[in-house]
Amino acid sequence: MKKAPFTGSGVALVTPFDKNNKINYCVLEELIEMHISNKTDAIIVCGTTGEASVMDDDEHMSVVEFAVKKVNGRVPVIAGCGSNDTNHAVRFSKMSEELGADALLSVTPYYNKANKSGLSEHYRCIAKSVNIPIILYNVPSRTGVNISIEILKNLSELENIVAIKEASGNVGYAAQIASEIPDLYIYSGNDDITIPILSVGGIGVISVAANIIPKEMHYICEQYRLGNVGEAKDILLKYMKVINNLFCEVNPVPIKEIMNYLGYDVGKVRLPLGKMEKKNLEKLIREVNNVGIKKYRS
């Protein structure tokens, strides 16, 4: 059986920017320490939530390197290395391995809408280039491509393709993966269906909400794993309105706005993303206050 990169709640970490729109490494270090002290099970950097698509190559690799050094082996660091250019994805993957990342998160190529043979070969090229584990990232709402069960079966034969971040929102698809490809670990890519994904064989979540409720997301996964399903369900349902409002506009706009409200000082999103609509932010703040999420700096 392949070894899972982690079990539990991995945070899809935001990338903090300063007032000059540069990476704020001081705040990044604070976030990493906060997550480790609050039992986050893995740190995922340079993913969708981390705004990797608007970072240049040097910035991208510097965040991976910084996270690896600051975490220093206390929890796994997983580097987002996806691209719609296979050569680019291979280069990022190799560099992340050299910098000490514990695993890679590789999104399906976007915009190109790769066909079956191209998608399979894309991932095979990446897998052959590195020795660390790879988590496939299936998010068709953003990429226009859904990884078919046929392709997943084919790719799961590769030793270092070990898991999938399943963000299609289709629990039936996740159940089919668990049924037909038992050696491919499943992480929920959607906070709101964490428990349904766990119930069909998932082992955790790669979470946006964990940026503001890290201990709670860890606890949901832990309690489910211990058999305390009711406890896990109650916690998730308590935060469901917050979670839903974190996606009332495109991620990571709401999570960065609410983190700034809570005192995390993560800065703005980079263009082409912009400010959240006032009415949506007000509703998100209201839901956060209703469940008593505390301010990071008071």
So which residues are the catalytic ones? 137, 165
Residue 25: helix, strand or coil by DSSP?
helix
Strand 103-107, strand 77-80: pairing: parallel
DSSP per residue, 152-202: HHHHHTSTTEEEEEE-S--HHHHHHHHHH-TTSEEEES-GGGHHHHHHTT-
Give 235's contacts (C-beta < 8 A, 6+ positions apart).
216, 219, 220, 223
For residue 188, list its beta bridge partners. 166, 205
Spatial separation of the C-alpha atoms in residues 42 and 203, rounded to whole Å? 13
**Residue 39, token pair as written in the block:** 């039992």
Spatial separation of the C-alpha atoms in residues 297 and 195, rounded to whole Å? 31
Spatial separation of the C-alpha atoms in residues 272 and 122, rounded to whole Å? 27
Contact 107, 134 (CB under 8 A): no
Buried/exposed code over 135-150 (b: 16+ C-beta within 10 A; e: otherwise): bbbbbbeebebbbeee
